[in-house]
Amino acid sequence: MKVALFGGTFDPVHLGHLEVARAAADKFQLNTVYFVPADIPPHKQSRHLTDFQHRFAMLALATADDKRFVPSLLDAPKGSPNYTIDTVRRVKRTLKKSDKLYFLIGVDAFKDIATWYQPEALLAECEFIVVSRPGFSIADIRDALPEKLRPAEETSPGARNQQLSDTIAVPGATIYLLPDIHNRVSSTQIRAAVSRPVRQLSRFLPKTVAEYIKKERLYTGAAAGDLKDTAQSKVLSFQKARHHVHRTQ
Ligand code: ATP
């Protein structure tokens, strides 16, 4: 069995994410792509994330019609940081020896890989599939590797050309490139455009997700990106719902 973990904030999930997952699943014959919404990844803490439950609910809607796609609670909030290396190891413990695990990621996110927790160990733990994204050069992937894994330019003549082939294999890391994704959509753009009607939003994300955003009045803070008030009220309404359930049990 071939499995990929696709991590992100998914705030909200959009058609770019689905295209990435579909392309990877087709090319690498993946049986399952787990969409793993992050709790609060350290590099995104500056922006208030929409409540985890909402991001998960939108993923459940977006992944409903592809059997290979599964929304995952692997990185659900647990009160302490979720490190990718731990998540990967946890998943590997559930797999058979003959199974294969990949980590699926866009080139913009991969560029920060050296700042992640234990990046060398993470890259040794599973193979990566790095997907192109407009505005980011896939040719820079080698430079993004943690220094210890980065071969010196002079010891690898032709390295630049090799970067453009489908695979980067260095001792301690194997990275497959998926260079044919050219979808410009981003969650940032959707958050900024949320006042548009469902019909227009549906060009960027599944209609069911657009309808959910409207119904729950997500991303309607005074300024795009300032989600504090609305997200806060939803957290409270989730908490209220939870307390109600506890009281009636
Ligand atoms: P934001 O705009 O809030 O930063 P985003 O659109 O980048 O969000 P994330 O949830 O941060 O979405 O992305 C999850 C993963 O999907 C990352 O690895 C990211 O690189 C990748 N990704 C997102 N959108 C695209 C896209 N249009 N093309 C290729 N990869 C993408």
Q: What is the pLDDT along the chain (249 residues), one digit of tens a residue?
A: 999 999 999 999 999 999 999 999 999 999 999 999 998 654 555 678 899 999 999 999 999 999 999 999 999 998 888 899 999 999 999 999 999 999 999 999 999 999 999 999 999 999 999 999 999 987 788 889 999 888 766 455 554 555 457 899 999 999 999 999 999 999 999 999 999 999 999 999 999 999 999 999 999 974 444 444 444 444 444 444 444 444 434
Shortest CA distance to 62 belongs to which of 83, 28, 35?
A: 35
- The CA–CA distances, whole Å, from 54 to 14, 23, 42, 100, 211 equal 14, 26, 20, 30, 13
196 burial via Cβ count (<10 Å: 0-12, 13-18, 19+): middle
CA–centroid distance, residue 17 to ligand 1 (Å): 7
Q: What pLDDT is recorded for position 14?
A: 98
Non-local (6+) Cβ contacts of 15 within 8 A are 183, 185, 203, 204, 205, 206
- Residue 125 CA to its chain's centroid (Å): 18
All structural domains of the chain with their residue ranges: 2-248
> 2-248 has which fold?
Rossmann fold (3.40.50)
Residue whose Cα lies nearest atom 7 of ligand 1: it is 186
Residue whose Cα lies nearest atom 31 of ligand 1: it is 106
202 vs 190: CA distance, rounded Å: 10
Q: What pLDDT is recorded for position 46?
A: 67
Q: What pLDDT is recorded for position 224?
A: 42
Q: Is 59 helix (H, G, I), strand (E, B) or coil?
A: helix
Q: What pLDDT is recorded for position 200?
A: 97
Site to substitute for ligand 1 among 141, 186, 191, most atoms within 8 A of C-beta: 186
95 vs 114: CA distance, rounded Å: 27
CA–centroid distance, residue 223 to ligand 1 (Å): 21
Strands (DSSP E) found in the chain: 2-8, 32-37, 69-71, 100-106, 127-131, 167-170, 173-178
Q: Which atom of ligand 1 is nearest to the CA of 185?
A: 27
Query: 200 with 192: CB under 8 angstroms?
Result: no
CA–centroid distance, residue 23 to ligand 1 (Å): 15
74 vs 10: CA distance, rounded Å: 14
220 vs 227: CA distance, rounded Å: 7
124 vs 146: CA distance, rounded Å: 12
pTM of the model: 0.87
Q: What pLDDT is recorded for position 33?
A: 98
249 vs 246: CA distance, rounded Å: 5
